[in-house]
Amino acid sequence: MENNREQWSSKASFILAAAGSAVGLGNIWKFPYIAGENGGAAFLFIYLICIVLIGLPILNIEILLGRTTKKNPVGAFKTLTNNPFWKYVGALGVLASFTILSFYSVVGGWSLAYTYEALVGTFNTPAFANPSTAGDFFNLRNSSPLWVLGYHTLFLSIVVFILLSGVRAGLEKASKFLMPILLFILMILVVQGLILPDANKGVSFLFQPDWSKINGQTFLLALGHAFFTLSLGMGAMMTYGSYLSDKDDIVNASYLVAFLDTVIAILAGVAIFTVVFSSGYDPTAGPGLVFHVLPPLLSNLVGGYIFAFLFFLLLSIAAVTSGISILEVSVAYLVDERKMSRKKAVLMMAGLVYLGSYSMCIVIQCSF
C-alpha cells in the first residue's frame, strides 16, 4: 500500500464523487431517448433488473479491487496475480475510458453551448419555433468546426482544471459542490414538469410498461446502459475505490451510488417526458430528443427561459462530474505505472483525448 497516495476525506465524499461519476450524460441525455424508443416503462423494468442482478455486484467488485490494491486498473490486476495476461484486462479499462471520453467530451461541449444559448435567450427566437427548426439550428452549428471545437475545448479545460488540483482539492471538492446543485436543479425541473397539463401521460409512459416493444435488442440496450451509467468496465470505479481507506464500508457505499444513479435517471425521465407529452410531441425522437425537441418545448412554457437554462446547466454539470472520473482513470495509470507527475499526466491524456475527439465528431454527427 502506498502511504503517500491521496484518499477521500470521508466515505460520504467518495459516495458523492462516485455518484457524480455514475450520474452523467447517460442519465440525462441517453436514458430518456433510449427509454422513449423502447417502450418506456418496459425498458425501465429490464434496466432495473440489470442494475440489481449484474451492475451492482460488478460495482462492488470494482470498488473492492481498487481499495484492496490502491492502484489503477492495470496496477490492480498486476498486484493480484503474476499472470501477465490480466494486466491487459486492466489496460482495456484504461483504453475504454480514453475512447469514451473522446466522444463524451464532444457531447459535453454541446451541453455547455446550449447552456449559453439558453442564457442569452436564443431559444426564444424563430430558430427554435419548433423541433424541426431547432434541429436545423443544431445541425448548422454542429457543421461549424469552430463552434464544435471551441465548446469541446472549454469542456475539456474545465475537466483538466479540476483534475490538476488532485483528489481532495479537485475531484472531491468539485463533487461536493456540483452534486447538490445537480440534485436541486433536477428537483425543480421534476416539480415543474409534474404541474404541466397532461403531465400524467408522461408519467404513465415511464411507469406503465408496453411489453410489445420488448425484443432481444432491448435487453442488450438495457444491459449496456447499466454498464455505461454506473461507469463499469472502464476502470472509473476501480480508480475511485483506490482512494478509499481500508475502514470504509464498500457494500453500503455501492448501494448508495447505484441508488442515486438510478433515481436520478428516473427523475430525469420524469422531467423530460412530462414536458414532451404536455406539448404533444413524440417521445421516441432518438438522440435528438434533448437538443432538437426540448429547447423549443421548454422555451414555450411559462418561465421557460429559466427552465431551459436550468436544464442545460444540469446537463453540463452531469457531463463534468462524469468527465473528471473518466479522465482520472488514464491519469492514475500514468501516475502509478509510469511514475509521471499528476500535472504531466493530466495534460498528456487531455491532449490525446482532444486529438481523438476529431474523429469522434464525425461519428457522432452521423447519428443525428
Exposed, middle or buried, 226 (CB in 10 Å: 0-12/13-18/19+)?
Answer: buried
Per the listing, cell 408522461 goes with 202
User: Is 100 a member of any domain?
Assistant: yes
pLDDT at 1: 42
Tens of pLDDT along 122-161? 999 999 998 889 999 999 998 888 898 899 999 999 999 9
pLDDT at 59: 96
Per the listing, cell 445537480 goes with 182
pLDDT class of 37 with cuts at 50, 70, 90: confident
Range of the domain at 339: 11-366
**If phi over 0 gives left and psi between -120 and 50 gives alpha, with beta otherwise, what is residue 303?**
left
Per the listing, cell 470521508 goes with 10
Instruction: Specify the CATH number for the domain of residue 112.
Output: 1.10.4160.10
User: Is 3 a member of any domain?
Assistant: no
**pLDDT above 90: percentage of residues in the chain:** 67
Q: Is the pLDDT of residue 39 over 50?
A: yes
pLDDT at 103: 87
Q: Is the pLDDT of residue 364 over 80?
A: no
- Split into its structural domains, the chain has a count of 1
Which is higher by pLDDT, 307 or 205?
307
pLDDT class of 101 with cuts at 50, 70, 90: very high
Q: At what angle do helices 85-119 and 304-337 cross, to 10 degrees?
A: 150
pTM of the model: 0.91
Q: Is the pLDDT of residue 281 over 90?
A: no
Q: Is the pLDDT of residue 197 over 50?
A: yes
User: Is 2 a member of any domain?
Assistant: no
Amino acid (one-letter) located at 234? M
3-state secondary structure 190-218: HHHHHCCCCHHHHHHHHHCECHHHCCHHH
| Mean pLDDT across 273-297 | 82
| Mean pLDDT across 96-101 | 92
pLDDT at 243: 96
Q: Is the pLDDT of residue 217 over 80?
A: yes
User: Is 1 a member of any domain?
Assistant: no
Q: Is the pLDDT of residue 322 over 90?
A: yes
CA 30, 34, 39, 44 dihedral sign is negative
Per the listing, cell 435528438 goes with 288
Lowest mean pLDDT among 3-7, 78-82, 106-110, 122-126: 3-7
> Among 294, 234, 217, which residue's Cα sits nearest to residue 89?
234
pLDDT at 316: 96
Write out the DSSP string of 63-108: HHHHHHHTS-HHHHHHHH-S-THHHHHHHHHHHHHHHHHHHHHHHH
pLDDT at 289: 79
User: Is 208 a member of any domain?
Assistant: yes
User: Is 187 a member of any domain?
Assistant: yes
**pLDDT above 70: percentage of residues in the chain:** 95
pLDDT at 357: 84
pLDDT at 360: 64
Write out the DSSP string of 256-277: HHHHHHHHHHHHHHHHHHHHHH
pLDDT at 285: 66
Q: Is the pLDDT of residue 361 over 70?
A: no
Q: Is the pLDDT of residue 363 over 70?
A: no
CA-to-CA distance for 84 and 86, rounded, in angstroms? 6
Q: Is the pLDDT of residue 20 over 70?
A: yes
**What stretches of the chain show up as alpha helix (H) in DSSP?**
11-22, 25, 31-37, 41-50, 56-69, 73-80, 85-119, 131-142, 145-164, 173-194, 199-207, 216-229, 236-241, 250-278, 288, 294-299, 304-337, 342-366
Roughly how many angstroms between the first and final C-alpha of the chain, as a whole number? Answer: 47
pLDDT class of 309 with cuts at 50, 70, 90: very high
User: Is 6 a member of any domain?
Assistant: no
pLDDT at 356: 86
Supply the Cα-derived Rg of the chain in whole angstroms.
Answer: 20
Q: For the chain, give the number of residues.
A: 368
Q: Is the pLDDT of residue 367 over 90?
A: no
Average pLDDT, whole number, for the chain? 90
Contact of 225 with 26, CB cutoff 8 Å = yes
